[in-house]
């Protein structure tokens, strides 16, 4: 893996932070590259060095967080549900500005869709192995579990994380186990 120059990393972080901050203020479609450039204190040329356009920037930002969440899932694959969810909630907590912005912004519906897609794939095997499938269609239980999970995450973030990650993990883990048998 090649080491990224500190200046490049610093510029990319400033650009990512700028777009997230701007999305808390206005709809993504109304944000211009000049807005991002001004907020990040970099030239528009610097933005174009790293991203094709603002949509590419948003996609790469989402990709980065989705990759992190996937890595977390891989690292906790052998744990019980409630224990495996703790790192997820801690990651969401550390990146609150990003996730609260993505879940609240109309311009970032693609983030929610990608989260649902990822969780659907992740939970698919669990649903197939569960005892519930004897009485309920696998597609229905899969959608129920995924949408419930996403809904709880949205509620937690939109309400300012009223419970610590450990409580959320324990509660959500219990509900998932209850539904997947």
Which pLDDT tens digit goes with each residue over 15-66?
999 999 999 899 888 999 999 999 999 999 999 999 999 999 999 999 999 9
Task: Return the half-sphere exposure (C-beta side, CA atoms, 13 A cut-off) of residue 15.
Answer: 28
Q: Are residues 44 and 66 in the same domain?
A: no
Do residues 117 and 45 both lie within one domain? Answer: no
Q: Is 108 a domain residue? A: yes
> What predicted TM-score, i.e. pTM, was given to this entire model?
0.84
State how far Cα 31 lies from the chain centre: 21
pLDDT (0 to 100) of residue 41? 96
Q: 16 is in which domain, residue-wise?
A: 1-51
Same domain, 94 and 46: no
**Distant-in-sequence contacts of 33-41, Cβ < 8 A, 24+ apart:** 40/11, 40/14, 40/15, 41/14
Q: Is residue 151 part of a domain?
A: yes
With respect to residue 57, please indicate whether it lies within any of the assigned structural domains: no
Q: How many domains would you assign to the chain? A: 2
Whether the Cβ atoms of residue 122 and residue 145 lie closer than 8 Å to each other: no
pLDDT tens for each residue of 115-160: 999 889 888 877 766 655 567 788 888 898 899 999 999 999 989 9
């Amino acid at each position: 893996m090649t080491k990224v120059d500190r200046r490049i990393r610093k510029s990319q972080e400033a650009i990512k932070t700028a777009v997230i901050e701007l999305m808390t203020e206005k709809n993504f479609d109304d944000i211009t590259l000049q807005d991002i450039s001004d907020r990040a204190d970099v030239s528009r040329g610097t933005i174009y060095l790293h991203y094709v356009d603002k949509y590419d920037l948003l996609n790469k930002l989402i990709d980065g967080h989705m990759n992190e969440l996937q890595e977390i899932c891989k690292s906790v694959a052998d744990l019980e549900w409630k224990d495996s969810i703790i790192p997820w909630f801690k990651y969401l907590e550390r990146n609150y500005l990003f996730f609260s912005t993505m879940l609240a912004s109309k311009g970032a519906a693609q983030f929610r869709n990608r989260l649902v897609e990822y969780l659907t794939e992740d939970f698919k095997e669990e649903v197939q192995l569960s005892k519930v499938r004897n009485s309920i269609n696998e597609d229905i239980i899969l959608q129920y579990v995924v949408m419930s999970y996403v809904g709880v995450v949205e509620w937690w973030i939109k309400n300012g994380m009223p419970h610590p990650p450990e409580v959320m993990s324990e509660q959500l883990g219990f509900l998932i186990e209850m539904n997947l048998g």
